[in-house]
């Protein structure tokens, strides 16, 4: 058998590059396999608690403690934990409250932050830099420091123990980061469409709502997803602002109420409630996934 030299003049440049790259690929193949195994191991270790919670939702109390951290079943699966979490623990009402709050929180956050980001990105007015600095400083302010003033403000507005109080506070709390996202998007957006709309006689508001906002769909999906996750997982704000109305509890607050009690904690029911609370986030992420990828791809390209 005759050995083939990658530098032989009888080989084309493409063939020579392929022949020369083959040994190099073989040398790096063990490293790639090791890297893939390491990533797979880390991914499974990260996902294992979620898988364990899902399987534990189908176990009885005795079966859960007998199995320990194992995801296997030593006893037949139990299907009544989800029904008990939904109806017996009044989880259906908590779920409705969370959906109501998350819907209007996402709507308000996207609308107000898009307008604020467009105004900061496209207009020059006195005090613009000061506003941007103040907003940037507030981004690093812990929420615990503002809890008492927020509670007093909600009380003065006669919104205490209402779902609207939670919505207003969540929208206000999510505006800082989302405003910066929209501001960065509109700074890099194409100005030709905006200039063409103004030439056609469109006002500033018409240009924003009819021309610029439709082009920001990837950023709308990204901000909406972040706002939804923040609203759905929020615990301290719904707890404090609806403390006098147990029927206004959200899913995280309702899950906390399942811990303890006279009969102890029913851990399989708590795991079933955790699975139920996780489903909306997974569904929303799957729906908005394509737009989120487009938003990050556009940011990297820009």
pLDDT, tens digit (0-9, with 9 covering 90-100), for 243-255: 888 889 898 888 8
Q: Which is more confident, 107 or 44?
A: 107
Count of beta carbons in the 10 Å neighbourhood of residue 45: 9
Task: Specify the pTM.
Answer: 0.78
Q: Please name the fold of domain 90-257.
A: MetI-like fold (1.10.3720)
> DSSP per residue over 189-246, as a string?
S-HHHHHHHHHTT--HHHHIIIIIHHHTHHHHHHHHHHHHHHHHH--HHHHHHTTT-G
Q: What is the 3-state secondary structure (H, E, C) of 38-81?
A: HHHHHHHHHHHHHHHHHHHCCCCHHHHHHHCCCCCCCCCCCCCH
Q: Domain residue spans in the chain?
A: 90-257
Q: Which is more confident, 182 or 7?
A: 182
Q: Which is more confident, 22 or 46?
A: 46
Dist CA 299 CA 282 (whole Å): 24
- Which one-letter DSSP state was computed for residue 302? -
pLDDT, tens digit (0-9, with 9 covering 90-100), for 170-188: 998 888 888 888 988 888 8
């Amino acid at each position: 058998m005759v050995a083939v030299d990658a530098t032989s003049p009888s080989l084309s440049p493409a063939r020579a590059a392929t022949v020369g790259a083959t040994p190099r690929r073989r040398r790096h193949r063990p490293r790639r396999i090791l890297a893939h195994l390491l990533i797979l191991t880390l991914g499974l270790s990260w996902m294992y608690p979620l898988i364990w919670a899902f399987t534990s939702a189908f176990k009885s109390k005795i079966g859960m403690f007998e199995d320990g951290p194992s995801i296997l079943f030593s006893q037949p699966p139990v299907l009544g934990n989800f029904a008990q979490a939904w109806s017996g623990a009044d989880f259906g009402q908590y779920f409705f409250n969370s959906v109501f709050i998350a819907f209007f929180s996402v709507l308000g956050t996207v609308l107000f932050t898009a307008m604020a980001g467009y105004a900061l990105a496209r207009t020059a007015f006195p005090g613009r830099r000061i506003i941007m600095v103040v907003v940037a400083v507030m981004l690093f302010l812990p929420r615990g420091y503002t809890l008492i003033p927020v509670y007093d403000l909600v009380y003065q507005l006669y919104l205490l123990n209402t779902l609207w109080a939670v919505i207003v506070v969540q929208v206000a709390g999510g505006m800082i980061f989302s405003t910066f996202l929209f501001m960065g998007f509109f700074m890099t957006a194409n100005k030709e469409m905006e200039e063409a709309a103004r030439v056609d006689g469109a006002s500033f508001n018409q240009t924003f709502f009819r021309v610029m906002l439709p082009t920001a769909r990837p950023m709308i999906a990204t901000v909406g997803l972040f706002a939804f996750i923040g609203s759905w997982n929020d615990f301290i704000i719904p707890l404090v602002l609806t403390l006098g109305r147990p029927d206004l509890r959200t899913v995280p607050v309702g899950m906390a109420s399942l811990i303890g009690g006279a009969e102890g904690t029913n851990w399989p029911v708590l795991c079933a409630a955790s699975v139920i609370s996780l489903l909306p986030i997974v569904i929303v992420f799957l729906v908005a996934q394509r737009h989120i990828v487009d938003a990050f791809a556009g940011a990297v390209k820009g």
